[in-house]
Structure 1
Amino acid sequence: MNRITEILDRNRHPLEPIATELAPQLQELPGIQAVLFDIYGTLLVSGSGDVGTAMEMTKGDALEAAWEACGVTSKMPAEDMVGQFYSVIKGDHKSATKRGTSYPEIVVEEIWQKVFASAIQKQQVTVPDDFDPAIFALEFESRVNPVWPMPGLQEVIGTLQKRGYTLGIISNAQFFTPKIVEYFLGSSLEENGFQPENSFFSYQHRLAKPGKALYQAAAQSLAGAGIDVCHILYVGNDMLNDVQPASQVGMKTALFAGDQRSLRLRKDDARMLPIQPDVTLTRLTDILACLPR
Structure 2
Amino acid sequence: MSDAADAFRDAFQNSKHIVVIAGAGLSAASGIPTFRDGGGMWRSLEATALATPEAFNKNPSLVWQFYHYRRTKALEAKPNAAHDVIAKMSVPTYLRKVAPAAQSFHLVTQNVDRLSVSALNALLARPDSQAELATKHTVFRDSILEMHGRIYDVKCTACGFCEEDRTDPLCPALGAADASFNNYHDAGSKDVHIPENDLPRCAACGALARPGVVWFGEKPYHLDEINSIVYKADMCLVIGTSSTVRPASTYAYRVQRHGGKVAVFNLAPSEKDEQADFVFSGPCETILPSLFPELA
Report the TM range for the smaller structure's normalisation: 0.3 to 0.5
Normalising by structure 2, we get a TM-score of: 0.46
The structure, 1 or 2, with the larger RCO (C-alpha pairs under 8 Å, 6+ apart) is 1
The TM-score, its normalising length taken from structure 1, stands at 0.46
